[in-house]
Amino acid sequence: MGARVTLAEVAKEAGVSPPTVSKVLNGRSDVSSTTRVKVERLLEAHGYRRRTSSPSRSPLVELVFHELDSVWAMELVQGVETAAKANRATVVLTRSGTRHAPAPDWIEGVLRRRPLGVVLVFSSLPAEMKHRLRSRDIPFVIVDPAGDPDPDVPSVGSANWAGGLAATRHLTDHGHQRVAIITGFEDMLCSLARLDGYRSAMTMAGLTIDQRLVRFGHFDVQSGFEHGMDLLAGPDRPTAIFAGSDLHALGVLEAARVRGLRVPEDLSVVGYDDVPLAQWSSPPLTTVHQPLRHMAEEATRMLFRPDGPGRAAQRIELASHLVVRQSTAPPEGGAAGA
Amino acid sequence: MGARVTLAEVAKEAGVSPPTVSKVLNGRSDVSSTTRVKVERLLEAHGYRRRTSSPSRSPLVELVFHELDSVWAMELVQGVETAAKANRATVVLTRSGTRHAPAPDWIEGVLRRRPLGVVLVFSSLPAEMKHRLRSRDIPFVIVDPAGDPDPDVPSVGSANWAGGLAATRHLTDHGHQRVAIITGFEDMLCSLARLDGYRSAMTMAGLTIDQRLVRFGHFDVQSGFEHGMDLLAGPDRPTAIFAGSDLHALGVLEAARVRGLRVPEDLSVVGYDDVPLAQWSSPPLTTVHQPLRHMAEEATRMLFRPDGPGRAAQRIELASHLVVRQSTAPPEGGAAGA
């Protein structure tokens, strides 16, 4: 691995003073962009890593979202807050970028704030951001409810295939034969994993899959409602729907109401996630519990390990389990294909 | 008002060095508690105020909750985040204490973090905390969905009486005569204000109020369900229920389902808050929109005013308005008293 390069050596090679390198490391704005780029390249080329984080005035854990209005968000905030507090740290919450990466200006802010570590709710992080965080010795972990992890970053997810299997088996065990699935987009691994769990459960029950009963869409209420309205329109409607999120399931409940069908007497519905609203729906929702709070806690704890989450990317997958409430029941005689 | 006392004068009077006073001001832990108490008392006695906040490494706005799992919480986070970002600041989120005040250890953390300002989701703040924040020139504002403001602290609320009036008038205008209300505890001003709005609307419609139809409880789903089950049990059940929160309303929807009543055909339901789940319920909920996000934005903006939110306590009350969705309709013939 060779000897570690020092700040002074980087300064000399860049032809600037050590304080200037220090400013770049701290994300300060009083450095020209030419100098910044030159110094960053040298830091990267030499694999520079700050030896120890300077103790910040008050220890912070930074939690980064791309959207704050998802029903997951508060579950994750609670998990991070609990684990941060246990380590006497406070949570900084930022919103930036898209599902794929934080916006470019985000990284400058992080370098100025110098948190003890960063928890990202994203599926990936650009190489340049990874490098900049590593060179400042700021550990980072991805919490990934979408199950689509960057192989180069430590991450915490949950068992999507097993969740899809459990949801579908619950329905086939009740005697349902026409079981539909509404899941997320085909380019999200979590959607594919849950769909494959559904397929395996159907096959295990000796049932064939009607492709018209397999639907993809956004993970929102509207998408659940639209697919629900369509699925429940015909005479050969399904007697059960496995909805890929609790929001999908709420949309399906509303579609059932509009179509004049009772849940669970005429239609069984299983959701996914078990966010708080799942127990508040009418009827309360049978759903797959994705341990979002626990995932966020686990990710935050990784930041506080003596060796950090490590460069060797680590993937932790927590178990999901089915929570049976009142939206599922055996099909009433003759409902299937009636 | 007299001349302002300096840090050196406080140090001299306390018999300690100026750096020690500075440590107390910054919430540092390396000061004995005897010294801390002595210095704090002198700071308070002299009405000391730091002349300017030292620029923090990265500007922070601190948002303090006593619980993170309320359905409001994410709305408020979004409002604070938006206004903070517009002012190039980042949000620190802390959870502490009860509805009435943050825990005692919270204040030490704030003094160390030195945010540009603090937004509290509480109804009051102990005098000692107010003093300590003021002496460090850290402005603070209370966002107060409960409508129960500390008269000595700037706060942002919303119009609860007008909201109760609008909800009830919507029902009486539809021809409902037996209208029940489920509201929060009697010691919360927001509950009383909404109840008074209900009473005025009933009186304006020439209706008498049946005291059995006036219910108090927690603002949660379970409370709505229990009162709903009870209200909907008898033959002289109400044809409409004004639920004091959207969670109450979800509980009422479930009670109606269990009692075999259709909403809105057999029972009209109005909620309060208009949190996102109100549009996802089945049927989508008619509810009073409390502008939670806007309230949090407004509170955060107050921190950035050149003169801060000011010592003279200011109360801003934002308008609420009714959002009509599908949970309300005229009563079906003979439903009342049938």
Residue A1 domain-assigned?
Answer: no
pLDDT tens digits along A51-98 = 654 554 579 999 999 888 778 889 999 999 999 999 999 999 999 888
Query: Bigger pLDDT: B89 or A147?
Result: B89
Closest CA to B180 of B151, B207, B141: B207
Residue A95 domain-assigned?
Answer: yes
Helix or strand run (H / E) with residue B323: strand B321-323
Per-residue pLDDT at B210: 96
Helix or strand run (H / E) with residue B321: strand B321-323
Residue A50 domain-assigned?
Answer: no
Contact assignment for A81 to B90 by CB distance below 8 Å: no
Q: Identify the band that residue B170 occupies on the pLDDT scale cut at 50, 70 and 90.
A: very high
Chain B positions touching A78 (Cβ under 8 A) are 68-69
Place of tokens 């006695």: B45
Residue A147 domain-assigned?
Answer: yes
Residue B105 has pLDDT above 90, yes or no: no
- B114 part of contact set with chain A, CB < 8 Å: yes
Q: How far from B247 is each of A86, B254, B293, CA to CA, in Å? A: 31, 11, 18
Return the amino acid letter for A168: T
- A85 part of contact set with chain B, CB < 8 Å: yes
Residue B165 has pLDDT above 90, yes or no: yes
| Residues B226, B244 within the same domain | yes
- A74 part of contact set with chain B, CB < 8 Å: yes
| Residues A144, A67 within the same domain | yes
Structural domain tally of chain A? 3
Burial B132-143 (b: 16+ CB within 10 A, else e): bbbbbbbbbbbb
Q: Identify the band that residue A3 occupies on the pLDDT scale cut at 50, 70 and 90.
A: low
- Give bridge partners of residue A61 from the DSSP assignment: A91, A117
| Residues A201, A281 within the same domain | yes
| Residues B108, B178 within the same domain | no
Q: Identify the band that residue A318 occupies on the pLDDT scale cut at 50, 70 and 90.
A: very high
Residues B106 and B93: their CA atoms lie apart, in Å, by 12
Chain A positions touching B257 (Cβ under 8 A) are 282-283
Per-residue pLDDT at A312: 55
| Residues B191, B301 within the same domain | no
pLDDT tens digits along A94-124 = 998 887 788 888 998 998 888 999 999 876 7
Nearest CA to CA, how far is B280 from chain A (Å)?
6
Closest residue, chain B, to A258 (C-alpha): B283
Q: How far from B259 is each of A261, A269, A277, CA to CA, in Å? A: 17, 21, 21
Nearest CA to CA, how far is A206 from chain B (Å)?
34
Nearest CA to CA, how far is A16 from chain B (Å)?
23
Q: Identify the band that residue B3 occupies on the pLDDT scale cut at 50, 70 and 90.
A: low
Per-residue pLDDT at B2: 44
Residue A152 has pLDDT above 90, yes or no: no
What is the interface size between A and B, counted as CB pairs within 8 Å? Answer: 105
Closest residue, chain B, to A283 (C-alpha): B254
Residue A334 domain-assigned?
Answer: no
Query: Bigger pLDDT: B146 or A25?
Result: A25
Whether the CB-CB separation of A210 and A178 falls below 8 Å is answered with yes
- B281 part of contact set with chain A, CB < 8 Å: yes
Lowest mean per-residue pLDDT among A13-17, B126-130, B144-148: B144-148
Per-residue pLDDT at A1: 39
Nearest CA to CA, how far is A207 from chain B (Å)?
31
Per-residue pLDDT at A87: 93
Place of tokens 């929702």: A285
Residue B269 domain-assigned?
Answer: yes
Average pLDDT over residues A140-161: 83
Nearest CA to CA, how far is B234 from chain A (Å)?
22
Q: Identify the band that residue A145 occupies on the pLDDT scale cut at 50, 70 and 90.
A: low
Residue A327 domain-assigned?
Answer: no
- B87 part of contact set with chain A, CB < 8 Å: no
Per-residue pLDDT at B335: 43
pLDDT tens digits along A190-228 = 889 999 999 999 999 999 999 999 999 888 999 999 999
Per-residue pLDDT at B126: 87
B233: exposed, middle or buried (Cβ count in 10 Å: 0-12, 13-18, 19+): exposed
Residue B331 domain-assigned?
Answer: no
Of B95, B113, B281, the CB nearest to A57: B113
- B280 part of contact set with chain A, CB < 8 Å: yes
Contact assignment for A277 to B277 by CB distance below 8 Å: yes
Q: Identify the band that residue A139 occupies on the pLDDT scale cut at 50, 70 and 90.
A: very high
Q: Identify the band that residue A178 occupies on the pLDDT scale cut at 50, 70 and 90.
A: very high
Q: Identify the band that residue B338 occupies on the pLDDT scale cut at 50, 70 and 90.
A: very low
CA atoms within 13 A on the CB side of B18: 5
Peptide bond into A264 cis (omega under 30): yes
Per-residue pLDDT at B310: 59
Provide the 10 A C-beta neighbour count for residue B32: 10
pLDDT tens digits along B258-285 = 999 999 999 999 999 999 999 999 999 9
Q: Identify the band that residue A254 occupies on the pLDDT scale cut at 50, 70 and 90.
A: very high
**A 227-256 near B (Cβ less than 8 A):** 247, 250-251, 253-254, 256
Q: What does pLDDT average to over chain A? A: 88
| Residues B221, B269 within the same domain | yes
List the CATH number of the domain containing A236: 3.40.50.2300
Please compute Rg for chain A using Cα positions: 24
Query: Bigger pLDDT: A149 or B106?
Result: B106
Whether the CB-CB separation of A163 and A201 falls below 8 Å is answered with no
Q: How far from A122 is each of A99, A101, A133, A190, CA to CA, in Å? A: 5, 6, 16, 13
- Over pLDDT 90: what percentage of chain B? 57
Contact assignment for B276 to A77 by CB distance below 8 Å: no
| Residues B279, B309 within the same domain | no
Average pLDDT over residues B288-308: 90
Q: Which residue stretches of A26-93 are H helix? A: 33-45, 73-86
pLDDT tens digits along B222-247 = 999 999 999 999 889 999 999 999 99
| Residues B73, B166 within the same domain | no
pLDDT tens digits along B311-334 = 556 888 899 999 999 999 999 864
Return the amino acid letter for B32: S
Contact assignment for B91 to A92 by CB distance below 8 Å: yes
| Residues B96, B211 within the same domain | no
B186: exposed, middle or buried (Cβ count in 10 Å: 0-12, 13-18, 19+): exposed
Provide the 10 A C-beta neighbour count for residue B323: 16
List the CATH number of the domain containing A33: 1.10.260.40
Q: Identify the band that residue B195 occupies on the pLDDT scale cut at 50, 70 and 90.
A: very high
Q: How far from B63 is each of A82, A225, B41, B106, B302, CA to CA, in Å? A: 16, 36, 27, 12, 14
Structural domain containing residue A129: 60-158+292-317
A335 Cβ partners below 8 Å, 6+ apart? A239, A266
Provide the 10 A C-beta neighbour count for residue A78: 19
Per-residue pLDDT at A2: 44
Residues A92 and A63: their CA atoms lie apart, in Å, by 6
Contact assignment for A57 to B58 by CB distance below 8 Å: no
- A113 part of contact set with chain B, CB < 8 Å: yes
Whether the CB-CB separation of A45 and A75 falls below 8 Å is answered with no
Contact assignment for A93 to B77 by CB distance below 8 Å: yes
Contact assignment for A281 to B250 by CB distance below 8 Å: yes
| Residues B224, B240 within the same domain | yes
B294 Cβ partners below 8 Å, 6+ apart? B79, B318
> What is the DSSP track for A186-220?
TTSHHHHHHHHHHHHHHHHTTPPP-GGGEEE--SS
Closest CA to A224 of A199, A190, A258, A264: A258
Whether the CB-CB separation of B69 and A276 falls below 8 Å is answered with yes
Per residue, the 3-state secondary structure of A234-300, as one string, reads CCCCCCEEEECCHHHHHHHHHHHHHCCCCCCCCCEEEEEECCHHHHCCCCCCEEEECCHHHHHHHHH
Chain A positions touching B280 (Cβ under 8 A) are 221, 247, 250-251, 254, 277
Chain A positions touching B251 (Cβ under 8 A) are 280
Closest residue, chain B, to A73 (C-alpha): B74
Whether the CB-CB separation of A302 and A143 falls below 8 Å is answered with no
Q: How far from B113 is each of A90, A91, B58, CA to CA, in Å? A: 9, 11, 10
Lowest mean per-residue pLDDT among A18-27, A69-78, A113-122, A304-313: A304-313
Average pLDDT over residues A240-265: 96
| Residues B81, B140 within the same domain | yes
Residue B8 has pLDDT above 50, yes or no: yes
- Over pLDDT 70: what percentage of chain B? 92
Per-residue pLDDT at A334: 45
Nearest CA to CA, how far is A136 from chain B (Å)?
16
Q: How far from B27 is each of A91, A309, B113, B223, CA to CA, in Å? A: 18, 31, 9, 42
| Residues B165, B282 within the same domain | yes
- B33 part of contact set with chain A, CB < 8 Å: no
Per-residue pLDDT at B52: 55
The sign of the dihedral angle between the CA atoms of B194, B123, B89, A140 is: negative
Contact assignment for A282 to B277 by CB distance below 8 Å: no
Per-residue pLDDT at A200: 97
